[in-house]
Structure 1
Amino acid sequence: MTSPDGLSVRDVAARLGVPSATLRTWERRYGLAPSSRSAGGHRRYSEADVGRLGVVARLVADGVPVHSAVAAIQSDPDVTPAGVGRAAEHISGDLVSVLLAAAARRDGVTVRRHVDRVLAQRGVVRAWEEVLVPLLQSVGERWRDPSFGIAGEHLTSEMISTSLRLATVRASRHLGDADPSRVLLANAEEEQHALPLTALEAALAEDGIGCRAFGARVPSHALADEMRGASPDAVFLWASMRRPDLDVLDTLAGVSRQWSVLILLGGPGWGKNPELPDLGAVRVERTTDLGDAVARIREATRPR
């Protein structure tokens, strides 16, 4: 319980897991001072003070520079630890800048360290949507810059992929006897960008759902053969290249009419509002983000 006079520096440090010296530094450099002092002149923090400091501590642990974390709470003085997401959104651009700078100097270790931390602290879906997608978009805009180049793009993608695969391995230890054949993940034919599949595999593992991921450039007939043997509940198909026709769906649906299966289309290659065919027990749906894809696959694999 908080004392009527407020909490001491030592009390706040113990609660937040931050050294007392760090709190004093934040006060001196960034103005994060307690709102009151005791009769003897000692610092006394209110619960609101502690809440703001807790937000700063969480953002800093997330790899955000202290000055950016402080700017985030100053822009929203009523932010609390429960509302740290709003502050995180405010400073995600700063974290993306840190990652871009590391990639530009070819510092893959730093990229991996920050990506690992964000995945661990925000979870795969939030990390992907709040940090990694904006990072990849920024990388896509900079690869023509000689100071960044194609090598910077490849390094960034490789480090993100490595971190996501490690997250999958960690989460998979808790999957138990979950049947991975119930969910198949693949790229459409000639589609080479498999990073979204890697993110989905990690997000599903984190959600307790096993899957088989086949990666880039999977021929339709090969995926159809796999469906014949596995009889999956859900198939996710990614395409970033434009695909004006949906012939692939006829190929896949032709082998699965004897059971109910969800074919989930992800990526901009399918268009914003494609006319999805009616294939009876084979349900064809469109998804636009990682969280939605996980939710739809979870529903499709739920015991009947």
Structure 2
Amino acid sequence: MAQEVEPVPEVGLTTGALARRLGVSPTTLRSWDRRYGIGTAVRTEGRHRRWSPEDVAVLEAMCRLTSAGVPPAEAARAARGGADVSGAANGEPEADGRSRAAGALPLGDVRQECRGLARAAVRLDAPAVDELLTAAVDRHGVVGAWQDVMMPVLHAVGRKWETSGDRYVEVEHLLSWHVSTALRRATRRVDSPAAPPEPAPAPAPGPVVLACVPGEQHTLALEALTAALSERDVPARMFGAAVPAEALTAAVRRLGPTVVVLWAQARSTASAPLAAHIAGTGWGARGARRRPLVVLAGTGWAGSASPGMPRPGGLQEALELVSGVY
């Protein structure tokens, strides 16, 4: 039985109440207003917005269309009654006979949001890509957005690139940059706990250190884990691509991390001796030295025997493992 939606009061809804009703963030509502004119002119004496029933109806249409994969700019025009995007949502050709949809990408059985994101990426529509990624994080959280929206489209573009020569390289680069931007935007600054005053029964736990091994340039999955950890208020230090071994060792000694996550996407970059060296790197007073738990993340570590170093199978498993240890 469908849940009955409460009517909008005549005095209108506040931005916070409307965001909860629609399942989006207040930031998304403000962004839609600024970019596409989907807003309200009604304000209280304190200059606070009040969204009328008509405003709410337009935004509900906007949400339905973007969830169906329609780029936000087109969805806004349709929600205001200025365009028919039903064909575009299904990947039908436009007036010039060329399909603007990403039907050629090997997406398979995915969310409608993936199709909208793929379509926007193929069209190199950067504002739409940014808006769809932001909406996905707002709606599903970092883990859901990464697993159900970002990864399927990234993989589809990668497969198309591999089978099309030099075509789609620009699509992959644009999409990767915006995915990275969305993940960094979702990463809140979480400070390490302050050290308790002396005498302390035990030292405060250090942050999680995340780094790609030397020679490894792929950072997106590690950026997703960094953002997901911030959602759980776990302090982390992300060092990015191809961190030299000496620099990584120095960071471990300086920060005293509880966990070190080493990312290797290719077997050629995964180094078991480096992982063992980091696992054996200690800090603290003599007689009470501590060492980090080293987590081996990425397909590059497959097949390597590294006792005592867990290898999570995906973002959710890595998140549970690292935050649980912390």
Residue type at the aligned position of 2:299? P
Q: 1: CA distance between counterparts of 2:272 and 2:64?
A: 44
Relative distance call for 1:248 and 1:17 in structure 2 (3 A) is closer
What's 2:233 paired with?
A: 208
Q: Indicate conservation of the 8 Å contact 2:157/2:168, yes or no.
A: no
Q: Indicate conservation of the 8 Å contact 1:237/1:266, yes or no.
A: yes
Q: Indicate conservation of the 8 Å contact 1:63/1:117, yes or no.
A: no
Q: 1: CA distance between counterparts of 2:264 and 2:147?
A: 18
Relative distance call for 1:17 and 1:204 in structure 2 (3 A) is closer
Shift of 1:221: 2.0
Equivalent position SS for 1:287? coil
Shift of 1:215: 0.2
Give 2:158's match in structure 1, choosing from 140, 144, 149. 140
Greater displacement, 104-113 / 237-246: 237-246
What's 1:154 paired with?
A: 173
Matches within 5 A, 1:217-296: 217-243=242-268, 245-256=271-282, 258-271=289-302, 273-277=303-307, 283-296=308-321
Deviations 1:226-264 (A, max 9, x none): 111111100001111114651112221231383142111
Identity between Structure 1 and Structure 2 (%): 30
Shift of 1:60: 4.7
Structure having the higher helix fraction is 1
What's 1:107 paired with?
A: 125
Residue type at the aligned position of 1:105? R
Deviations 1:69-112 (A, max 9, x none): xx9xxxxxxxxxxxxxxxxxx97343222212211111111111
Residue type at the aligned position of 2:281? V
What's 2:113 paired with?
A: 95
Shift of 1:210: 1.5
Shift of 1:64: 3.7
Q: 2: CA distance between counterparts of 1:146 and 1:102?
A: 21
Q: 2: CA distance between counterparts of 1:245 and 1:223?
A: 13
Residue type at the aligned position of 1:276? S
Relative distance call for 1:275 and 1:291 in structure 2 (3 A) is same
Equivalent position SS for 2:294? strand
- State the aligned residue count: 230
Relative distance call for 1:183 and 1:152 in structure 2 (3 A) is same
TM-score, with length taken from structure 1: 0.65
Relative distance call for 1:227 and 1:142 in structure 2 (3 A) is same
Relative distance call for 1:184 and 1:111 in structure 2 (3 A) is same
Q: 2: CA distance between counterparts of 1:106 and 1:126?
A: 24
TM-score, with length taken from structure 2: 0.61
Residue type at the aligned position of 1:135? V
Equivalent position SS for 1:92? coil
Give 1:185's match in structure 2, choosing from 204, 207, 210. 210
What's 2:148 paired with?
A: 130
Relative distance call for 1:13 and 1:213 in structure 2 (3 A) is same
Equivalent position SS for 1:227? helix
Shift of 1:133: 0.9
Equivalent position SS for 1:191? coil
Unaligned regions of 5+ residues in structure 1, if any?
Answer: 19-55, 72-89, 278-282
Equivalent position SS for 2:310? strand
